[in-house]
Structure 1
Amino acid sequence: MSNEFEWDLARPEKTVEGFDGIFDVQKAKQLIVAKPREVEEIDLVKNETYFRTYVDDDVKLKEDVDWNTVDCSILLIFVRLPTGKLEIDGKHRLAKAMMTGLYTLPAIILTPEETAEVEVF
């Protein structure tokens, strides 16, 4: 359950901007804490082409990253869009998982209603 994970609500979070909108990660974490839910396992093998393209295209991942500090046990956060799921927190964890051969990662997927709540624009 998501309430078994210690969410850091004091840490300032950036909003995440993508082709599908801008999303408030801090608000997403607050919603998850307020309403615990089951943790889902995201299948990286089944979605490898999508995730690899998504991660490889991100220039920010090519910056200096101390991969030893990237903790793949921290839950990813996805929003649910009409076109599918979009990761809004955990891109470096996705990249490390693919580099180290992990097959799944734990994640929370917000409902469409919650997605609307965290969408900034």
Structure 2
Amino acid sequence: MLTVKRWEKPGEAEPPADVQAWLESMLTQHVEAVEAALDAVEEMTETQGHAPSHVDLLYYRSQAHYDTYGRDKGDYAIVNARSREIGAILESEGIEARFRYPEDDEAGFQRLANTR
């Protein structure tokens, strides 16, 4: 933990190259996932001729919850962070973001989970 704090402190040690590469990879994955979701909303807008009034975004309560309902392997906090960023961008564009737990709407969950 102290090593990470040193990396975060300006003027202290830089993270090793492998750590920098991993962080860059994680950022790239995040950006690509957010862009893919926004592209899907844009496609809906083009198909319907208008922006949707709202978009449902999946949100998870815990790692165990994500392990049960999540589509891919991974950390629920990362998935939730993506959902929050997507929601913030949509809200800035006047589209309501509704955060939903997967089990709240089983049919909707299946539609969202099968968008690979």
Give TM-score, length-normalised by structure 2. 0.28
Larger radius of gyration: 2
Higher helix share: 2
Give TM-score, length-normalised by structure 1. 0.27
